[in-house]
Structure 1
């Protein structure tokens, strides 16, 4: 077999547009640090030592936010690709379900029904850490409509947390519906379709684990930021509170992923068991069983002996992805993420 000649390869015209993606990332990163990464103590607002700690916490938070934004966009793009590649009926159902769930989630966030992290971690204490003006009149018993503190840093923290909640409202339906779309099968079903949907199911699982873990890293960096303004030993109890809060949501995210992944995986497995293998595949499987039996009789190893290891590794990867948010939340307190 001859090797292809590289000189004959033609680059698609549209491929050169990919260069704008890394340029956009560099420009966005530069603008972000220019707008939000300036040390406040240079303006005399904070002592130099405290100012450096505050700026360091803010830069970590901005870096985590950049990762979260990129992962969220990638997740939404993958869901759009899934919807566009689906059959017309499936496409309509996925689109309507996504719009309905997204509108509900965004309305819940905008209406203050989903309280932000500052409310649970001590909004007044965070306000004092940032030397803001406490405004208790903005507090509502069951709603989180507006910040109860005025100040540049606190407002930045509050609004970034709101953006994170809206992003979660946008990406969560995409994660769930993208996984559910793996149950779509041709009529009649085929083994090739089963293999394709199984690969897609794992891809959605890993993507969900990635975006939720990065979301936890951002939330941890965001809420550790105020610790720079807490004097003396006050920072340690606050960061312990943050660690517990992050671990709680890590465990919740793991249960969230399992709540839809496990039913879809079981359903897909049952559907694929009913799919008859083509004659050629049946003959190949029979031949494989015969060769495996012959190898065992001779005391040797066969490909079939490797399957348990492969299955065990696949199971390990699945379990690791399911528990990734909880593990990230637990390790956050150890690694001070």
Structure 2
């Protein structure tokens, strides 16, 4: 349920609505837009009184709310995700991230500018990370990606340097001014990773790790939520709802390919995710064509397609020597390939009325 307030509504009018909701055992999440103020009603009962949705505590709640001062209308939302829905927040959410390398010191994800996030899949050494960071920054990347903790299908695969990798990422940020995005894998690691990272990444295997989602929600740190490898849009947006419901509004969705019957590529990149998500939700959505295809020769074309389809940022793996990478070298661009791709991305972004921010 969504309560839409009139333009003339005061803080006391809004507080009155919140009090009515509280008396019904519900909670209200406020969203102030340019044209209207919206209150999303959250609770835990269906119209029949069973657990799972909203509104069953009082079948006349909608009429009660509509009669309150300066309430314009009450709309029932059919989607199970409320806070992530376009109805709750008609205007696009823009997530701001501090980055010293850009003018004004802030990168905005979800607006007219397209953002480049690039770096190695995994932090392997100081030399590897610094070489990559310097190269991608020179070409216009403003956010540095790099995994300190890495999930691996095999227990014998490289699983990252842990906190030492986080310290190297922080050193690269100090050196080149880029913001840092890195993966967090467990609820107990959220506080530690947040000390180093500007953006917390939740990987595909953890999209439905609800304890992790809750903890990231309580951290209030910007979070990139990757789509589960076999997840529907509804499941993906409900995972985002977990973070949003804990008070963290800085959520960014990431399409990284889904698992299908096709074996030629590592995953099947769903380009339709970008326009469709923008219809369903107000949250920014970015593209990871490296994970999305698993093939270095497809990263460039899928990056261009993603920007054309509406991606707000790209998350690309780059390595000084991908053939010797400890993890996912087959899907990592060389520094030269990344340098070739950037002018092409500028051209596509300009063609669709956007710009690629570089500093």
TM range (shorter): under 0.3
Larger relative CO (CA 8 A, sep 6+): 1 or 2?
1
What TM-score, normalized to structure 2?
A: 0.25
Relative to total residues, which structure has the larger helix share, 1 or 2? 1
What TM-score, normalized to structure 1?
A: 0.26
Relative to total residues, which structure has the larger strand share, 1 or 2? 2
